[in-house]
Amino acid sequence: MQDQIIDLALELTKVTKAKIADLDQIMMRTQILSMNARLEAARAGEAGKSFSVVAQEMGSVSREVTELSGSLNLAISENAARIQNAGEEMMMGFKGSRYADMARNAVEIMDRNLYERSCDVRWWATDSAVVSVAEQPGAEAVAHATSRLATILRSYTVYLDLWIADRSGKVIANGRPDRYHGVIGADVSREDWFRRGLATADGDDFAVCDVEKVARLGNAQVATYSTAIRAGGETGGRSVGVLGIFFDWEPQARSIVEGISLSQEERKHSKVMLLDSRYRVIASTEPGAFGKTYPLKPEAEWGYGNKDGKIVAYGLTPGYETYRGLGWYGCIESAMNAAA
């Protein structure tokens, strides 16, 4: 609707200017006729005096009309510019608010998904097979834990793998040893998910890391959750190891950014993104954008602005239930004139 208003205003201006130009041409011809009439009146001498007065008056009227058309042309141009600016501001407000709502909704959907991941890691860390292998990592316990993790993975297809590490940071079991070679025995003691998982306060606590590519998982984009495995599976038990669960980020995030309700025309001129707390692109409808820093400068938890002729709208994660969120943003960048 805003685009139509602007188009109508510009079309009206165009038509009016064309008519004024036609009027100017008529006035020019009138002035030429007036000049010729005065010349003929001068040749006629005394008999042409009265006609000379009429010719002069015609010239005077023609000049007044020409001045009036010039003033009208200037006024129309100024008002057309004001209408266009007002229309663009209206369009910015309408689209900006709509896109900001969509951006916030996108990151909120992801938060609800990740809340479930935080529940999974705390629940599975109390599984008897997981606790037993962390407490006494013998061959039989490892085989049982591996089988148990594989069963979980068959049911929860959003995970790439589940790893159990002992307190020293050595991986002692995983759910897909046939797919991911070299995981068993790997030293993860310096990796963020292990250190933070080991440091969790109790069985209700968990750690979550920024989305990264993990070499041992085929360089896949992964969101990693972890928590300490505790003696006896008790909430307040001492830590005997760490459970790390690796969420298959890319396909889940892609479905969210591509699922935003933009029109086909808007999709041609827009990109939808999820940004982490450092404004790194962690999901985007633009191929190859993962890991790049986007120059977002939020002034509030929700908003929009004009950047180089494009609307940039954003919304900060609101968190979900006990999951506070990680300071992520949903973000939509769109051409100003993209049709809704």
pLDDT for 335 equals 87
Distance in angstroms (rounded) separating the CA atoms of residues 239 and 155? 27
Query: Which domains are present in the chain?
Result: 2-90 (1.10.287.950), 116-252 (3.30.450.20)
pLDDT for 311 equals 92
pLDDT for 306 equals 86
pLDDT for 244 equals 98
Distance in angstroms (rounded) separating the CA atoms of residues 298 and 289? 20
pLDDT for 295 equals 95
Q: What is the pTM of this model?
A: 0.76
Cα-trace Rg, the chain: 36
pLDDT for 81 equals 66
Residue 308, both tokens? 């180089």
Mean pLDDT, contiguous 10-residue spans, the chain (340 residues) = 59 67 66 64 63 60 65 67 63 83 92 91 97 96 97 96 98 97 95 97 94 96 97 96 97 94 89 95 95 94 88 90 84 79
pLDDT for 80 equals 63
